[in-house]
Structure formats: C-alpha cells, structure tokens
Amino acid sequence: MKFFIILAYNSEILSKFAEAKKKLMKHIKTALIGFGYRGKQLLRLLRTIENFEIVGIADINGCGDSESPGASFYQGEEAYKMMLDEQQPNLVFITTPWHLHITHATECILRNCHVALEIKGGLCQDEYAPLQEIAQQKGVKVFPLENTLFMREILAVKRMVDEGALGEIIYMRGGYRHDLRKLLLDDNGVLGGRKGTESVWRSRFYSHHNADIYPTHGLGPLCMILGIGKTDHLAWLTSFATKAVGLRQHMSEDDNTPITLGDIISTQIETQGGTLISLTHDTTLPRPRSLDFEVQGSLGIWDGVNRRIYLEEMNSETWQDDHAILALYESREWQLWGEKALKHDSHHQGMDYIMLRCVAAELTKTASADSAGSIRYPATLNDLALWTSVTLLSEISIREHRRVAFGYSSDLQYKKNMNL
C-alpha cells in the first residue's frame, strides 16, 4: 500500500513538473530596444498575444508609465545593456534607427537572446556577416521583421505557386511606393526637421545616396514565393534612377541640402532560373501607397495592386476578382489567427499580428502540441542580408551604369564561383 501511495505521489509531482515545464517553454520573456512609433505599435500587439511577457523597454528618450505598464523602463543611450543584464530576456525586439541595428543585435546575441530585428539595414557591404557568425555560434535565432511576408494575399499566392496553380513563375514585380515627404520634411519644408522622429535620420539617405534604400517590402515576399535560397538564387541586378524633383519642390528656399536620391529607382533582377523581378522605390512623388505586387507564371497571373487574377483555365481573356480564388489557398497562419489578426491589427491589415504569432510559434514549437507547432518563421538573417544588399548593389549599378552580380565582392569572383 505504501509503495502505491509513493508511486502515485511521485507521478503527481512528475505530472506537475511536466506541466510547469510546458508552460515555461511557452512563456517568452520579451524586451524592446527602441520605443518610438514602431516600438509602440509592436508593444501594443505583443500585449494581445499570451506567449509574450514584456519585462523591459529601453530607449534613449523617456517614457510615461502609462505607455509601459508592468515593464521596467531604461532610459539612455547605453541603458539597453543594463536592461539585458538585469531582465535576462529570451527575446529582444530591436526598433532603433537603421545604423544601430547591428550594434544592438550583437549585444543581445552575446547574451544568448533571440532577436526580432526591424527592417532595414544592409548599409554597407557584408554588414550582417559578423552578426550571422555569432548568431550561429550562440545558436540563437534572428527574425527579420518584414511584415509584408505575412500579408494574407501574399501567403495565399505563395501556396498557389507551391501547388503549381500559376505554373512556372516567369516574372514578378514589387516595390515601395509611398509618398514620405510629410515624414521627411517638417511643416516649414526643412529636410529632417521633425525633431524626435525618424525624419531626423531617415532623411539623410536622400541627400547622401542614389539607390533603392528600402527594397525589403517588395523583394522579401517575392523571394519567399519564388523560393530564393532554396530552389532559385538571385544572380544579377541593373538599376536606373530618375532626376530628383519631388522633395525639392516642397523644400524651404532656405534649405540648401542637396538631394541625391532619384524620385524613382527602378531595379531589374535576374535569377539563375531565368525569372525576372522588377523593383521600384518611389517615395518622393504624389501617389497613393502601393507595394505594386504582381506574379506572372506560365498558367496565369496575379495582380496584387488591383486584387484581380487570371488563370489560363478560365478560357476567357477577362480578369476576375481574386478574393474567391485566394480563399481556396488560405494559408495555415491565417486559418489559425486571421480573425484575431484583423481584430487587433487594423493598421496593417493583420500582417503584424500574424508575424508576431509566427515568432512565438517558432520559439515555442517544442512545447506546442497544437497545429501551430509546425509553423516555421519564413525568413532568416541570411535572407535579410540578401534582400538589403540591393541597396549597395543598386547604388553601384546606377553610379557605374552597369549590371552588377549578387553575393560576392566582385563580378569576377562571382563568375568564378558560379562557373559563369
């Protein structure tokens, strides 16, 4: 009798321990570095997902208690290091200015923290290489926070392509087409004059570069759909720039800052498999916002701008509204979380919420027995390094009026490695 009592007692302890372990693994101690506009957006959404426990927020500026309830706030340029040491988070979201991403991410990884890294970097050649090396050494994950990967229609089109519904993919188009002049200029027409906002640092790219400075919104989803890095690879790039008029015509006469970035940057990318990808950067002319998506294959075409589709099997040269067809290819992510995504994330049509859910699913999959346990985050730091390299390569192409190779420090080395 005593034996059975002890056995039952031990079984109860083991059961409670297993349950506690399961809960612990589903519990992600989360911190944020950077608490501007984007950081506050993400914090609001993180609080709607049960997996994330916000333990700390660090920013160079102050923060009201009402903005960070229940989380310790660290103020100052180096305060984030104290936060990392004291709070020991499992995961850190980095939403600081682009030029600080590598520094902040490195400090997190050295402390064995997973990193959710905002877009974008790639400001110089091989910028991500040290980060890639230490992340691999430490065995931590870096999640590129490219939210357009999680658009409902993008994930549905990816499934269509995976299942062959559009045939062999021949041509793709995407871009970042968004009038940013009200962000870049203050009310008096001074470039970078909106103090305390991203206007201060982001505007500098328009006076120092002539390149596609924000390629990831358009390129990331297209690379995911096409299987870049798995079944195909980016090979060559050629970019063109227009004259710069849009910013100057709204700038103050007293602001003599030179504008070097063309109003339109058009980039043509060739893949090894023979697919052509067109990218457009267009942020200083009047226009409605658009990501300009189009995917064309040997069996049909999807027009993401006008939300229409044409399949060869329709036997009629007439576009159809894409909603009914894409609903047949609804992604697993949107099946699981779509209702809550639209409820909590109306600003970005649910894609930020789905993105955060996928981060949680990736980090907790070993403890998850539900259907989310098989969901993988669709992008890595290697992908981010590839996408952002378009900035540097497009600048070279525009400056030197030539075609430039992906992936290597010189075209000659690329040809040697690819046996071209």
- Encode pLDDT of 125-183 as tens digits: 888 999 999 999 999 999 999 999 999 999 999 999 999 999 999 999 999 999 999 99
pTM: 0.89
Beta strands in 253-351 (DSSP E): 264-271, 276-282, 294-297, 300-303, 308-311, 320-321
For position 373, what pLDDT does the model report?
A: 61
Domain boundaries, the chain: 2-145, 169-297+380-418
pLDDT 10s digits, 245-277: 999 999 999 999 999 999 999 999 999 999 999
- DSSP string covering 133-171: HHHHHHT--EEEE-GGGG-HHHHHHHHHHHTTTT-SEEE
According to CATH, the superfamily of the domain at 2-145 is: NAD(P)-binding Rossmann-like Domain (3.40.50.720)
Q: Which amino acid is at 343?
A: K
- Bond prior to 243 in cis (omega within 30° of 0): no
Which tokens in the block code for residue 404?
A: 């430039």
For position 66, what pLDDT does the model report?
A: 59
Closest CA to 128 of 147, 111, 109, 149: 109
Three-state DSSP class for residue 305: coil
For position 196, what pLDDT does the model report?
A: 84
Cα–Cα distance, 80 to 34 (Å, whole number):
9
Q: Give the pairing of strands 264-271 and 72-75.
A: unpaired
Closest CA to 336 of 321, 366, 308, 356: 356
CA dihedral 362, 72, 75, 363 (to 10 degrees): -10
Better-scored residue on pLDDT, 259 or 37 = 259
Contact by Cβ (8 Å): 166, 295? yes
- In the block, tokens 């519904």 appear at 165
Q: Indicate the class that CATH gives domain 169-297+380-418.
A: alpha beta
pLDDT above 70 for 419: no
Q: Do domains 2-145 and 169-297+380-418 have the same CATH topology?
A: no
Neighbours of 192 (CB within 10 A): 20
Report the helix count and the strand count for the chain, using DSSP H and E.
15, 15
